[in-house]
C-alpha cells in the first residue's frame, strides 16, 4: 500500500506504531521523529548512518506505517519543505539534494509552476473593488508611507520610485540609516501606511504598524498570511502567496499586487497626474538621462 498524508500525518503514524516496533525499527522511527527535516534533504544511506541502522531498516519502518517503500515515505517530508515549511537553511539543503540527484530540470519547471500559481491565486482572491478602495485611500491621503524591510525594502523602493513620477506625497520608509518607527513619527489620521512583512514577520515592521494605529493613520497591510500581526485592524489587508521551491520566499505575487495597485492609483487620479508623468520623463530626456533615439 502507498500511504498518503502530510509530514505531520507520517510522524503521528510513527508515534502510534512505535510501541509495536522492534528495537531497530524504534531506533529508526525515533530518529525520524526527532530529525524530520533530515528525511527530505539526506539520502537513505546518510539517514541510516545518522540513525545508526541499516538502510533496509528504514525501508521496513516505512512499510510498518503503510508505505510501499522509503521513496514514497520520504515524499511528504520533501513536499513540506517544497511548500515553504521550516527554516530557510533546511530548504537550501533540500535544493542541494535535488541538484545532487540530477533533477534540476524538474526543479526549473516547479519554480515556474509555483510562480504562476502564486500570481493566479493572488488575483483570484483579490477583487478589483478592494484594490480600487486601497488605491483611492493612497491618492487622497496627505502622505502615504510605504514600509518594507529586508526583502520588502526593494519592493517598497520600487513602489516609491514609480509612484513619485506622478505623486509628491509617497514616502518610502525606512530611509537608509534610520528606523522605520522614527520615519513615521509624525504620521497622523490623514495619512496612510502601506506596510508589508512576510513570514517570519519582522518586529520592526510590527512596531511601526502599532505606532501608526495609535496615531489614527489608515493601514493597508500586505502579507503572506491572514494571521500576520499587521493584518489585524487594517483598513485593507491583502494576502499574497509566497510559496517557492527556492530556499527563500517568492515575492513575484507581491510585486504583481504592487504593480496593480500603482495602475489603479493612476487610473483613479485626475489629469494633472498624467502631466506630472510627462514632465518627469521630458526632464530626463532634456538632461540626457534617457538616450534620445529621435535623431
Return per-residue pLDDT of the chain as tens, 295 residues.
455 678 888 888 888 888 889 999 999 988 888 788 778 767 888 889 988 999 899 999 999 988 988 888 888 887 776 665 555 555 555 555 555 555 555 666 677 777 787 888 888 888 889 999 999 999 999 999 999 999 899 999 999 999 998 899 999 999 877 888 888 999 999 999 999 999 889 999 999 999 999 999 999 999 988 888 998 889 999 988 887 776 678 898 999 999 999 999 988 777 777 777 777 778 877 888 878 766 5
Cell reading at 275: 502631466
Count Cα neighbours of 271 within 13 Å in the Cβ-side half-sphere.
0
CATH match of 7-102 with 3.90.1150.10: no
272: left (phi over 0), alpha (psi -120 to 50) or beta: alpha
Across the chain, where does the E strand assignment appear? 144-147, 170-173, 192-196, 218-223, 236-239
Interatomic CA distance for residues 21 and 52, integer angstroms: 16
**pTM to 2 decimal places:** 0.63
Residue spans of the domains in the chain: they are 7-102, 117-286
Taking the CB of residue 46, how many other CB atoms lie within 10 A of it? 13
Contact assessment for residue 37 and residue 91, using Cβ atoms and an 8 Å cutoff = no
SS3 27: helix
The CATH code belonging to domain 117-286 is 3.40.50.10490
Measured over the CA atoms of residue 5, residue 8, residue 11 and residue 17, the dihedral's sign is negative
Amino acid at each position: 500500500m502507498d500511504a498518503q498524508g502530510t509530514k505531520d500525518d507520517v510522524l503521528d503514524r510513527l508515534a502510534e506504531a512505535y510501541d509495536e516496533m522492534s528495537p531497530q525499527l524504534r531506533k529508526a522511527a525515533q530518529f525520524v521523529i526527532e530529525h524530520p527535516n533530515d528525511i527530505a534533504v539526506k539520502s537513505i544511506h546518510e539517514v541510516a548512518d545518522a540513525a545508526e541502522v541499516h538502510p533496509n531498516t528504514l525501508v521496513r519502518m516505512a512499510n510498518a506505517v503503510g508505505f510501499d517503500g522509503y521513496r514514497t515515505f520520504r515524499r511528504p517530508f520533501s513536499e513540506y519543505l517544497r511548500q515553504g515549511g521550516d527554516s530557510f537553511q533546511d530548504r537550501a539543503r533540500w535544493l542541494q539534494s535535488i541538484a545532487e540527484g540530477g533533477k534540476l530540470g524538474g526543479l526549473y519547471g516547479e519554480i515556474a509552476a509555483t510562480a504562476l500559481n502564486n500570481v493566479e491565486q493572488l488575483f483570484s482572491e483579490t477583487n478589483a473593488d478592494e484594490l480600487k478602495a486601497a488605491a483611492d485611500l493612497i491618492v487622497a491621503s496627505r502622505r502615504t508611507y510605504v514600509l518594507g524591510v529586508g526583502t520588502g525594502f526593494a519592493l517598497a523602493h520600487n513602489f516609491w520610485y514609480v509612484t513619485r513620477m506622478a505623486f509628491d506625497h509617497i514616502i518610502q520608509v525606512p530611509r537608509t540609516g534610520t528606523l522605520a518607527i522614527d520615519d513615521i513619527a509624525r504620521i497622523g489620521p490623514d495619512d496612510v501606511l502601506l506596510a508589508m512583512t512576510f513570514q517570519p514577520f519582522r518586529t520592526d515592521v510590527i512596531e511601526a504598524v502599532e505606532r501608526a494605529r495609535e496615531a489614527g493613520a489608515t493601514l493597508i497591510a500586505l502579507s503572506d498570511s491572514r494571521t500576520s500581526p499587521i493584518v489585524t485592524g487594517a483598513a485593507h489587508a491583502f494576502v499574497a502567496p509566497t510559496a517557492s521551491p527556492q530556499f527563500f520566499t517568492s515575492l513575484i505575487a507581491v510585486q504583481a499586487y504592487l504593480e496593480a495597485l500603482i495602475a489603479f492609483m493612476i487610473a483613479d487620479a485626475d489629469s494633472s497626474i498624467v502631466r506630472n508623468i510627462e514632465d518627469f520623463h521630458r526632464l530626463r530626456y532634456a538632461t540626457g538621462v534617457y538616450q534620445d533615439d529621435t535623431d
